[in-house]
Structure 1
């Protein structure tokens, strides 16, 4: 990886790219931004007005690199799920199921609510933009009626970006400073660096068993008015 590659988000895309009929420029998803990053290609307008940061405290700097331009909302999903950033001993499916249970489930609901109601565009990110971001974006897409197949395709699309994600995390890229970001890749099981369809399908199956994503969202404390707001905002 070159310095030029490391200075750009490796796993960034507009949520609207997941399916036809969604409005661009409303919600973005990505891996973690670093200070000194180039503006991402294909995400406009940039910078976002709101950033929803799903990382734990030990993964992030004290001050978010987009704090000068955006309102930062911290929702540490793994902490809420009772898991550490490296989540040793867990399978992807087990990790994702933990994220849609208990306090973590309410946190995922909070992410969807922020996408629906916070000043936009809204950027949702974690470290890789795959697991916490993947589950959260899957909920957003489910709530606005995107087909299951397209939600799975959007999740799996991250697999092709993981080489760049891992390079940025390993380098601890910070505008060339090389500062560590609190993630020890050697502690992360190999499965956690992949994006298999079965992992997100397990989440979609759980929501289906609960009566659908909207029923699950409401059961976890979400508001019907926020579902309506999400659809009004994201559906073209």
Structure 2
């Protein structure tokens, strides 16, 4: 079975769940399976799903990136009732829609000349990339404390950890990319992991449309505009390269220590 097939975790109550294992690093290693997972909203997990995550996969820590309104409206989810699991809520706040990340490329204008390094005339495609990448950078700008705290949870050695938001696309995509950058995963593999959410986009949107919390945001524009495109993540990472010397440079500037770095690398590689 290929690594790509192994990475997807099939559950009844979530559709965008995958393992960050099996990804190549720049020095020829592969990230370890069963350490860090990424997911969409976990509200609909069934009893069997919980048994698989907690019993088989040894899930012990959940990083919830949803906003405070999302958690209040949707609830913490079934895993909150499992004694072996600890929930860690670290909102990134910079959601594009009313409650969620499903409209991360719409909403108030982003001052791209301040946020991102490139200049000059831009096409409509460039402007779309600028909006999305600007929102991604805003997560880091507005809540560096949440970003650092969430990554430290993922680095814990006690069982598996899972990070999620609503769609498992934007907020989760950014945090996953940062974790993979720390582990030295190739840029191509990081972008491919981000884009993989597109394989499940129709199912993700159907799930979210079933909730009053997300329906209005989703119905305001065509489904294909929600697609995670490789150029979005590529430009986000390039902006960190230009401004901070890479993701690790940004993390270090915001309190990430060498001990943190070793711990997260160990989780994903040892």
Same fold (TM over 0.5): yes
Q: Are residue 12 (structure 1) and residue 17 (structure 2) matched? A: yes
Residue number in structure 1 paired with 2:228: 195
Structure 1 counterpart of 2:199: 160
- Please list every run of 5 or more consecutive structure 1 residues that lacks an aligned counterpart in the other structure: 173-179
What secondary structure does 2:81 align onto?
coil
Is it true that 1:215 corresponds to 2:249 in the alignment?
yes
Alignment correspondent of 1:98? 138
Q: Which has the higher helix share?
A: 2
Larger radius of gyration: 2
Residue 49 of structure 2 is matched in structure 1 by 39
Per-residue CA deviations over 1:3-35 (Å, capped at 9, x if unaligned) read: xx9943111100114335211111100101124
**RMSD of aligned alpha carbons:** 2.7
* CA distance in 2 between partners of 1:112 and 1:146 (Å): 16
| Alpha-carbon separation, structure 1, partners of 2:177 and 2:246 | 12
Aligned to 2:259: 225
CA distance in 1, matches of 2:134, 2:190: 19
Q: Does residue 1:63 correspond to 2:76, yes or no?
A: yes
1:190 positional shift: 5.1
Q: 1:53 to 1:142 in 2, by over 3 A?
A: same
Instruction: Give the conservation status (yes or no) of the 8 Å contact 2:148–2:256.
Output: yes
> How far 1:219 sits from its partner (Å)?
0.3
State the 1:39 CA deviation.
2.1
Instruction: Return the alpha-carbon distance in structure 1 between the equivalents of residues 35 and 45 of structure 2.
Output: 24
Equivalent in the alignment of 1:205: 238
Q: 2:155 aligns with which of 98, 101, 116?
A: 116
> Do the aligned partners of 1:92 and 1:192 also contact (CA within 8 Å) in 2?
no
Displacement, 1:98? Answer: 1.1
Query: Distance in 2 between the 1:191 and 1:95 partners?
Result: 18
**What are the superposed Cα offsets for residues 142-169 of structure 1, whole Å, 9 maximum, x if unpaired?**
0010010110011011111111101111
Number of residues of Structure 1 aligned to a counterpart in Structure 2 = 222
Secondary structure (helix, strand or coil) at the match of 2:49 reads: coil
Give the unaligned 5+ runs of structure 2.
1-9, 109-130
What's the TM-score once normalised by structure 1's chain length?
Answer: 0.83
- How far did 1:113 drift? 1.4
* TM-score, structure 2 normalization: 0.73
Measure, in 2, the Cα distance between the counterparts of 1:222 and 1:7. Answer: 36
Answer 1 or 2: higher relative contact order, Cα 8 Å, separation at least 6.
1
In structure 2, relative to structure 1, the CA distance for the partners of 1:71 and 1:111 (3 Å cut) is same
TM superposition outliers: structure 1 runs of 4+ over 6 Å = none
Cα separation, 2, equivalents of 1:18 and 1:183 = 34
Structure 1 residues 232 and 141, CA gap change in structure 2 (3 angstroms)? same
Does the CA contact (< 8 Å) of 1:96 and 1:199 recur in 2?
Answer: no
In 2, distance between residues paired with 1:47 and 1:183? Answer: 33
Shift of 1:59: 1.9
